[in-house]
């Protein structure tokens, strides 16, 4: 059992040291030209199977309140027909619609950056054109320097000057 504990401690230490987020670290949203698709888009058969598995309960019970995801197969497919994409450094990831062409994904311009905080975990979200969103989570305290501090949520518009849209994490 001690062996497993040692491995866990070494792994956690390696993750912490290898993390891009530590005192005073400035984080920029990833360059979409360097982003790569990590997972394949699901096949139509897989989407139909996921829909049946996820929404069967609501088909069987007419009185059950359906989540929006299960209103129709088209709604389900629109939300679940996605693939995982990642930044070149693997710090940021995001699910992107499989209906969005790769050329539109990699050419998407940064629109805004946001920082949210919940339960000692900070989420840095980078929002691009064409409904492309990448995010990173960290335990380091993060803020958008150009904005006044807010404990829950802060968002900066990056359309006019993407270079000034940065996040600082302690």
DSSP 8-state class, residue 141: -
- Block residue for tokens 């699901």: 42
Both structure tokens of 10: 């070494």
Q: For the CA atoms of 161, 97, 143, 145, what is the dihedral angle to 10 degrees?
A: 0
CA gap 9, 34 in Å, rounded: 32
Percent of the chain with pLDDT over 70: 75
Could you tell me the pLDDT band of residue 65, with boundaries at 50, 70 and 90?
Answer: low
Across the chain, mean pLDDT equals: 81
Would you say residue 108 has pLDDT above 70? yes
List the structure tokens of 127. Answer: 């929002």
Residue 102 reports pLDDT greater than 80: yes
- The mean per-residue pLDDT over the stretch 163-167 comes to 80
Residue 53: how many CB atoms within 10 A of its CB? 9
Token pair belonging to 120: 């000692």
Choose the weakest-confidence range: 93-107, 114-128, 141-155: 141-155
Stretch 46-69: mean pLDDT? 76
Please name which of 84, 123, 92 lies closest in space to residue 29, comparing C-alpha atoms: 92
Going by C-alpha positions, the residue among 156, 148, 67, 68 that lies closest to residue 113 is 156
81 vs 97: CA distance, rounded Å: 6
For residue range 112-130, what is the model confidence (pLDDT) as tens digits?
999 999 988 999 999 999 9
153 vs 43, higher pLDDT: 43
pLDDT in tens, 32-53: 999 999 999 999 999 999 999 8
Instruction: Tell me the two tokens of residue 158.
Output: 């990056």
Does 11 have pLDDT greater than 50? no
Q: Are 143 and 167 in contact (CB under 8 A)?
A: yes
């Amino acid at each position: 059992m001690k062996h497993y504990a040692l491995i866990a401690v070494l792994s956690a230490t390696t993750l912490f040291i290898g993390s891009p987020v530590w005192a005073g670290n400035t984080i920029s949203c990833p360059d979409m030209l360097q982003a790569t698709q990590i997972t394949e888009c699901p096949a139509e058969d897989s989407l139909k199977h996921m829909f049946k598995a996820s929404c069967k309960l609501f088909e069987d019970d007419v009185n059950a309140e359906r989540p929006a995801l299960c209103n129709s197969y088209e709604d389900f497919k629109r939300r679940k027909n996605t693939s995982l994409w990642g930044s070149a450094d693997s710090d940021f990831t995001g699910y992107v619609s499989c209906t969005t062409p790769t050329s539109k994904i990699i050419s998407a311009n940064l629109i805004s950056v946001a920082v949210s905080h919940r339960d000692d975990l900070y989420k840095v979200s980078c929002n691009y054109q064409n409904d492309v969103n990448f995010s990173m989570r960290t335990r380091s305290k993060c803020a958008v320097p150009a904005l006044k501090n807010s404990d829950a949520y802060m968002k900066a518009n990056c359309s006019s000057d993407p270079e000034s849209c940065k996040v600082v994490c302690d």
